[in-house]
């Protein structure tokens, strides 16, 4: 629809331009001068190159500054006085419709620009503009939406809490107090625990659950509003208004320096504002508790303030469905009652606080607030302590089990828990009155007030539990909670210890509710994927699930392109930082990028790093893993399938295309934009400040593997449509045999974007992944196919699939399933099939530690039919993931980022990776070690002499006929070190193919010794790459006899990144040139960190941490998924 814009009279403009220019200079001051400056630069650039079709980055930058300055001027009332043709109801200057209107006129003015008449020309141009009005907002019923959202989140908020985070948090508080209490050289300024973590991790829910163990007071000061869409529980709007209103309440004063002028200043100090509220809160609550006849009644009264919703007691799914309406009504009623109780109570508190403000004594000459705190707090805190100590004693004697008491007090010097006062979204108290220093805000006043409380409660007796402050926040400004004490405004605070931050919330806690998968194809179902990661994913509404997940990742409901355009038009340094944050966090969700803290960085790059770290937690769902040295943030990206898929949907925006757009072109453009933005905007900073974990070589390997997966999915995403998808569902057997990928059939047609999302999340044939890693010759493909076929036959030999005669099914193949990566923080020696199945079904590939011997990573592989039910001969209809685990093997990869080549002649056994241990003792694993290994020499562009590929950059090597024994040293070279065998490693007799002792493993091929195509073996001998020197061959009696699996093993060797026969996925997604730029960089960082006793266990539990026991059969407990199927059936029958 076109917009009609009125054309002002040119003659009138010319007459009024001098007057407008004069008025603008007088009333707009520097703002007008800055606009004139950029206007002049733009016009000069336009005259130097008058063709507007030629892209000029400098001219575009000047135009962005002009638009930015004009947008800023619209917030000044004088602008509308000077230029009456504009209105506050107009479209903003940043809008596309405004830009399309004003840009041609600006270019016309620039063609006749003169430095003598520049301001007149600028004024005339502005007067010639007539922007269209803002569109009317869409009509909707917020009441209906609010009720729906409140009901949904009330129900989700009251799901049974999984994990023991509340107990661990309370234990942390007690250990912190035991560590600091009574010690003169390590005293806390105030007794508090900040909880800083990204959205959806269960901070508030955990704190409210602590009310079962200790007295708890809770308020929420979220400033965005009281609607459930902004967060749940909803904010206490009355308290938000109180703190905002009293901060802005002013009085007129006459300063000595300007005796003829009166200036406003705050009527109440921040210290008084906070003290009055706390005093009124404590006093009102003490009065209400005093009326209760027993400690139990007092505790029940406290619970009324935090009972959000009502939890259903029905454990049967049938009953739950039958009583859904009743439960919903009960939940809504419970939430409404709680909010009404809180509203009425805090209305009285605010009235009492305002009275205290009016009657508080004035400050003394030194402006010390001690008298203010004394007046407002001393009596109320004493009265409340008397009441809450009764509640604490009651809970300790009647509600806390003996085991929990032992856990809480183990190693602590305290006898009982403290009284907890929790303030949610406390960073919204960081508000300052105009003209005051940054440290003069309500949050610092809260700290000072709590220092007063802690100094005066119980006469300061060490070991006595008293009031303990809990500060919760998601906002990036929460770094103020853990800043160094030297930066605070209070003299008493300087030099004292920072309150330790608690970060060890639950992760993967909902995984306990996951049912065993009935078939491997079910891994792409949303109900399965949302069980992993933070609890938030199970609370999102199904109708907008993936859109809400992307919103959480991007911190915006806009698409990536729209968000970037808004950032670009603002101009200046913040734009660059914002786009850095955006690109970094999109890739971090898939490639496991993590920050290490940078200590003491004063350099601007260090500041940028800190902003990226805090902004990532605040706006883009990164995880705060730990706080180092008391104030540095360690940012992690643990495995979260939903967040990884949301990132993939941003990188491959098939859901954003219109009917006339080419999906593949749209995806290529977006993919390159993000990768290139990361390479240009993020890598230089991360490289310069040495903060990116691991190495760039390992990062590029993950990037290429991700691109190979995405490129293999690209033709599927482009071709999926309603008709094709329904045909695939109707003819699933035929499509599975002919297609290179396969997904689970659907019972009803899905929306197009849901179909594409499901396609993307579905497993991918290993052969298709390799096809996007290299353009192999038929000879090389034959070696790969022989290896995969060998494993398929091996599956038949183990008789895993006898129930459905799967051995004759053409759908049995090797399948990969990784939408993202995660890092393990330990060396992997043996790996169990359970752990591989655990990783495969959550869609994660493993990046090993840098010190791992032989390999850099592992891609789990499922061998079988995706549609086959995991039944057993004993219980065909009973799914058992123990059966699924028997189908698991893996592909390993190793990446090198050196100009010189590296010989693999002696590394075959090492490159096979760790030993694979069967799910049950006495059984055989599907393979001894890796199915195959991908060797990537990223920085080496020389040809492989023996390769038959077109550019000699790819080669597939079978097991050598006479491999060198790993126990022998190469003459003149270093002695290969043996790796210790883990106690639970399977004996060689139980491994496939029988015979042969477990070969030892050399150190990871990552030494600093450089190798070349002709590596020196002795003074007279040289050996070509890929060949074994005669002098290195052991005597016949010591030569290792390879097993059948070793003989079938193949090494896929890829060299360089420039040639088209390696990594065709880079061309498919148009990112080869970007990857070539990245490969040249190398970054690594190692730092040892000492931690006090109370920090033991105070770290984020990573999803792959359980992999420390990955060689132990049966260690993963997901609803007894790996217990014996017969035992499961017997237990079920006993229960019935």
> What residue spans of 323-401 are helical by DSSP H?
324-359, 370-398
Band of residue 230 on the pLDDT scale cut at 50, 70, 90: low
471 and 615 part of one domain: no
Is the model's pLDDT at 838 over the cut of 60?
A: yes
Band of residue 78 on the pLDDT scale cut at 50, 70, 90: confident
Q: For residues 928-953, give the mean pLDDT.
A: 90
Higher pLDDT, 1003 or 99: 99
pLDDT of residue 1012: 31
Phi-psi map region of 610: left, alpha, beta (phi>0 left; psi -120 to 50 alpha): alpha
Q: For residues 800-815, give the mean pLDDT.
A: 63
Band of residue 723 on the pLDDT scale cut at 50, 70, 90: very low
Pairing of strands 192-196, 632-636: unpaired
Cα-flanking dihedrals φ and ψ of residue 1111, to 5°? -90, -5
Q: Of 1025, 1041, 1062, which residue constitutes the final position of a domain?
A: 1062
Q: Which residues pair with 419 in a beta bridge?
A: 467
Percent of the chain at pLDDT above 90?
27
Q: Is residue 295 a part of any domain in this protein?
A: yes
Q: For residues 647-661, give the mean pLDDT.
A: 79
Is the model's pLDDT at 146 over the cut of 70?
A: no
Band of residue 516 on the pLDDT scale cut at 50, 70, 90: confident
Cβ neighbours of residue 850 closer than 8 Å, sequence gap 6 or more: 694, 695, 698, 1006, 1084
3-state secondary structure 244-263: HHHHHCEEEECCCCCCCCCE
Band of residue 792 on the pLDDT scale cut at 50, 70, 90: very high
The DSSP output letter for 907 is -
Q: Calculate Rg over the CA atoms of the chain.
A: 33
Q: Is residue 743 a part of any domain in this protein?
A: no
Q: For residues 404-408, give the mean pLDDT.
A: 87
Is the model's pLDDT at 414 over the cut of 70?
A: no
Band of residue 202 on the pLDDT scale cut at 50, 70, 90: confident
825 and 706 part of one domain: no
Are 850 and 694 in contact by the 8 Å Cβ rule? The answer is: yes
758 and 778 part of one domain: no
Higher pLDDT, 50 or 238: 238
Predicted model pTM: 0.72
Higher pLDDT, 723 or 156: 156
Q: Give the number of residues written for the chain.
A: 1136
Band of residue 806 on the pLDDT scale cut at 50, 70, 90: very low
Number of domains observed in the structure of the chain: 4
Tokens of 917: 């241990």
Band of residue 979 on the pLDDT scale cut at 50, 70, 90: very low
The DSSP output letter for 848 is P
pLDDT of residue 809: 60
Is the model's pLDDT at 568 over the cut of 80?
A: no
319 and 417 part of one domain: yes
pLDDT of residue 738: 39
Q: Is residue 979 a part of any domain in this protein?
A: yes
Higher pLDDT, 660 or 1127: 660
pLDDT of residue 135: 66
Q: For residues 96-112, give the mean pLDDT.
A: 87
Look at the block and give the residue holding tokens 């100590």.
389
Cα-flanking dihedrals φ and ψ of residue 258, to 5°? -130, 75
366 and 309 part of one domain: yes
- Of 300-304, 535-539, 603-607, the range with the lowest mean pLDDT is 603-607
pLDDT of residue 962: 54
Read out DSSP for 752-784?
HHHHHHHHHHS-EEHHHHHHTTB---HHHHHHH
Read out DSSP for 310-326?
-------HHHHHHTHHH
Q: For residues 840-854, give the mean pLDDT.
A: 89
Is the model's pLDDT at 991 over the cut of 90?
A: no
Kind and range of the H or E run holding 863:
strand 857-864
d(CA 713, CA 717) in angstroms, rounded, equals 6
- The C-alpha angle 768, 774, 775, rounded to 5 degrees, equals 95
d(CA 852, CA 827) in angstroms, rounded, equals 5
Q: Is residue 847 a part of any domain in this protein?
A: yes
959 and 1005 part of one domain: yes
566 and 707 part of one domain: yes
Tokens of 376: 């407002």
Higher pLDDT, 867 or 153: 867
Q: Is residue 397 a part of any domain in this protein?
A: yes
Is the model's pLDDT at 268 over the cut of 70?
A: yes
Band of residue 873 on the pLDDT scale cut at 50, 70, 90: low
Q: Of 1028, 1046, 1062, which residue constitutes the final position of a domain?
A: 1062
Question: Counting Cβ atoms within 10 Å, is residue 1100 exposed (0-12), middle (13-18) or buried (19+)?
Answer: buried
Q: Which residues pair with 1022 in a beta bridge?
A: 1016
Residue 947: cis peptide before it, omega within 30 degrees of 0: no
Are 556 and 621 in contact by the 8 Å Cβ rule? The answer is: no
815 and 712 part of one domain: no
**For residue 938, what are the CA distances in angstroms to 146, 895, 897, 902, 949?**
54, 7, 5, 11, 17
Name, of 43-52, 123-132, 750-759, the range with top average pLDDT.
123-132
Q: Of 127, 161, 181, which residue constitutes the final position of a domain?
A: 127
d(CA 24, CA 172) in angstroms, rounded, equals 60
Band of residue 253 on the pLDDT scale cut at 50, 70, 90: low
704 and 786 part of one domain: no
483 and 545 part of one domain: no
Q: For residues 681-693, give the mean pLDDT.
A: 59
Tokens of 675: 């990768």
- The C-alpha angle 985, 989, 995, rounded to 5 degrees, equals 120
pLDDT of residue 1129: 37
pLDDT of residue 649: 93
pLDDT of residue 693: 46
Residue pLDDT, tens place only, 1000-1045? 333 233 333 333 332 332 333 333 333 333 333 333 444 456 777 7
| Residue 491 neighbours by CB distance under 10 Å | 7
Q: What mean pLDDT, rounded, does the chain reach?
A: 74
153 and 291 part of one domain: yes
Are 661 and 624 in contact by the 8 Å Cβ rule? The answer is: no
Cα-flanking dihedrals φ and ψ of residue 832, to 5°? -90, 155
pLDDT of residue 421: 96
Higher pLDDT, 7 or 623: 623
Q: Is residue 503 a part of any domain in this protein?
A: no
Q: For residues 649-670, give the mean pLDDT.
A: 81
Q: For residues 486-491, give the mean pLDDT.
A: 46
472 and 616 part of one domain: no
Higher pLDDT, 1123 or 1074: 1074
Name, of 48-62, 95-109, 336-350, 774-788, the range with top average pLDDT.
774-788
Higher pLDDT, 78 or 364: 78
Q: Which domain holds residue 800?
A: 774-1062
Are 681 and 583 in contact by the 8 Å Cβ rule? The answer is: yes
Is the model's pLDDT at 762 over the cut of 80?
A: yes
């Amino acid at each position: 629809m076109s917009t009609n814009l009125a054309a002002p009279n040119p003659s009138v403009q010319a007459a009024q331009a001098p007057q407008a220019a004069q008025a603008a200079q007088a009333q707009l001051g520097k703002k007008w001068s800055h606009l004139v400056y950029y206007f002049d630069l733009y016009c000069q650039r336009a005259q130097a190159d008058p063709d507007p079709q030629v892209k000029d980055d400098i001219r575009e930058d000047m135009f962005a500054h002009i638009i930015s300055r004009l947008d800023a001027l619209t917030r000044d009332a004088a602008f509308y006085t000077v230029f009456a043709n504009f209105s506050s109801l107009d479209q903003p200057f940043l809008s596309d419709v405004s830009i399309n209107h004003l840009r041609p006129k600006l270019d016309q003015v620039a063609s006749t620009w003169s430095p003598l008449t520049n301001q007149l020309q600028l004024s005339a141009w502005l007067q010639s503009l007539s922007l269209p009005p803002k569109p009317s907002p869409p009509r909707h019923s917020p009441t209906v939406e609010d009720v729906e959202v409140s009901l949904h989140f009330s129900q989700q908020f009251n799901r049974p809490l999984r994990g023991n985070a509340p107990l661990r948090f309370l234990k942390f508080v007690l250990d912190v107090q035991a560590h600091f209490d009574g010690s003169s050289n390590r005293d806390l300024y105030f007794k508090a625990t900040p909880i800083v973590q990204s959205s959806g991790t269960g901070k508030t829910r955990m704190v409210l659950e602590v009310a079962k163990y200790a007295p708890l007071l809770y308020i929420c000061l979220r400033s965005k509003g009281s609607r459930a869409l902004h967060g749940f529980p909803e904010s206490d709007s009355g308290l938000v208004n109180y703190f905002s209103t009293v901060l802005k309440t002013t009085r007129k004063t006459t300063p000595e320096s300007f005796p003829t002028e009166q200036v406003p200043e705050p009527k109440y100090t921040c210290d008084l504002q906070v003290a009055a509220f706390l005093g009124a809160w404590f006093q009102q609550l003490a009065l209400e508790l005093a009326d209760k006849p027993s400690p139990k009644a007092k505790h029940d009264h406290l619970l009324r303030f935090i009972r959000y919703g009502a939890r259903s007691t029905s454990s049967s799914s049938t009953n739950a469905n039958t009583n859904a309406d009743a439960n919903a009504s009960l939940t809504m009623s419970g939430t409404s009652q709680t909010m009404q109780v809180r509203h009425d109570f805090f209305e009285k508190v605010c009235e009492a606080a305002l009275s205290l403000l009016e009657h508080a004594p004035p400050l003394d000459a030194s402006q010390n607030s001690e008298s203010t705190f004394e007046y407002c707090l001393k009596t109320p805190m004493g009265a409340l302590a008397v009441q809450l100590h009764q509640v604490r004693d009651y809970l300790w004697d009647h509600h806390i089990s003996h085991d929990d008491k032992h856990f809480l007090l183990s190693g602590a010097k305290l006898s009982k828990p403290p009284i907890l006062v929790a303030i949610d979204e406390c960073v919204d108290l960081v508000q300052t009155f105009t003209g005051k220093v940054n440290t003069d805000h309500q949050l610092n006043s809260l700290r000072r007030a709590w220092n007063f409380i802690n100094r005066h409660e119980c006469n300061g007796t060490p070991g006595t539990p008293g009031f303990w402050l809990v500060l919760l926040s998601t906002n990036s400004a929460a770094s103020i909670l853990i800043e160094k004490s030297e930066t605070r405004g209070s003299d008493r605070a300087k030099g004292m210890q920072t309150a330790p931050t608690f970060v060890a919330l639950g992760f993967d806690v909902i995984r306990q509710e996951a049912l065993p998968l009935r078939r491997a194809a079910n891994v792409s179902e949303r109900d399965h994927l949302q069980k992993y990661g933070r609890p938030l994913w199970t609370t999102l509404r199904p109708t907008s699930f993936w859109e809400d997940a992307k919103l959480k990742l991007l911190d915006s409901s806009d698409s990536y392109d729209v968000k970037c355009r808004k950032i670009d038009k603002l101009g200046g340094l913040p734009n660059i930082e914002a786009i850095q944050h955006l690109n970094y966090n999109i890739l971090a969700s898939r490639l496991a990028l993590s920050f290490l803290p940078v200590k003491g960085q004063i350099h601007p790059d260090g500041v940028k790093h800190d902003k990226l770290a805090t902004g990532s937690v605040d706006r883009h769902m990164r995880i705060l893993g730990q706080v180092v040295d008391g104030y540095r943030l360690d940012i992690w990206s643990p495995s979260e399938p939903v967040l990884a898929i949301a990132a993939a949907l941003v990188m491959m925006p098939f859901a954003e295309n219109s009917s006339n757009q080419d999906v593949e072109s749209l995806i290529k453009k977006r993919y390159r934009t993000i990768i290139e933005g990361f390479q240009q905007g993020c890598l230089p900073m991360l490289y310069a400040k040495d903060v990116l974990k691991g190495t760039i070589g390992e990062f590029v390997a993950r990037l290429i593997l991700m691109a190979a997966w995405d490129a293999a999915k690209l033709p599927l995403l482009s071709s999926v449509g309603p008709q094709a998808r329904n045909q695939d569902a109707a003819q699933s057997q035929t499509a599975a045999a002919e297609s290179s990928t396969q997904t689970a059939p659907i019972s009803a047609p899905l929306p197009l974007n849901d179909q594409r999302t499901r396609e993307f999340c579905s497993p991918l044939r290993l052969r298709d992944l390799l096809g996007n890693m290299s353009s192999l010759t038929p000879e090389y493909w034959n070696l790969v196919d022989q290896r995969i076929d060998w494993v398929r036959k091996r599956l038949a030999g183990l008789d895993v699939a006898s129930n459905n005669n799967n051995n004759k099914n053409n759908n049995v193949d090797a399948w990969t399933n990784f939408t993202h990566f995660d890092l393990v923080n330990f060396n992997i020696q043996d790996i169990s099939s359970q752990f591989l199945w655990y990783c495969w079904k959550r869609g994660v590939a493993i990046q090993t530690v840098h010190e791992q011997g032989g390999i850099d990573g592992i891609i789990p592989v499922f061998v079988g039919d995706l549609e086959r039910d995991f039944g057993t001969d004993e219980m065909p209809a009973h799914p058992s993931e123990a059966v699924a685990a028997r189908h698991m093997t893996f592909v390993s990869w190793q990446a090198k980022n050196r100009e010189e080549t590296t010989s693999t002649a002696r590394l075959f056994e090492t490159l096979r990776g760790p030993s694979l241990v069967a799910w049950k003792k006495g059984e055989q694993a599907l393979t001894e070690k890796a199915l195959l290994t991908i060797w990537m020499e990223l920085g080496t562009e020389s040809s492989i002499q023996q390769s038959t590929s077109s550019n000699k950059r790819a080669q597939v090597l079978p097991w050598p006929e006479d491999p060198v024994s790993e126990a022998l040293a190469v003459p003149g070279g270093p002695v290969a070190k043996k790796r210790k065998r883990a106690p639970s490693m399977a004996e060689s007799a139980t491994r496939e193919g029988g015979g042969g002792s477990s070969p030892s493993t050399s150190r990871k091929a990552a030494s600093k010794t450089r190798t070349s195509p002709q590596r020196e073996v002795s003074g007279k001998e040289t050996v070509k790459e890929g060949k074994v020197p005669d002098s290195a061959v052991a005597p016949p009696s010591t030569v290792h006899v390879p097993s059948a699996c070793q003989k079938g093993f193949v090494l896929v060797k890829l060299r360089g990144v420039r040639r088209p026969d390696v990594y065709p996925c880079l061309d498919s997604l148009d990112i080869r040139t970007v990857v070539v730029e990245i490969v040249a960089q190398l970054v690594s960082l190692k730092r040892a960190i000492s931690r006090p006793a109370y920090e033991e266990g105070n770290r984020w539990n990573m999803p792959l941490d359980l992999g420390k026991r990955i060689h132990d059969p049966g260690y993963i407990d997901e609803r007894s998924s790996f217990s014996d199927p017969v035992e499961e059936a017997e237990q079920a029958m006993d229960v019935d």
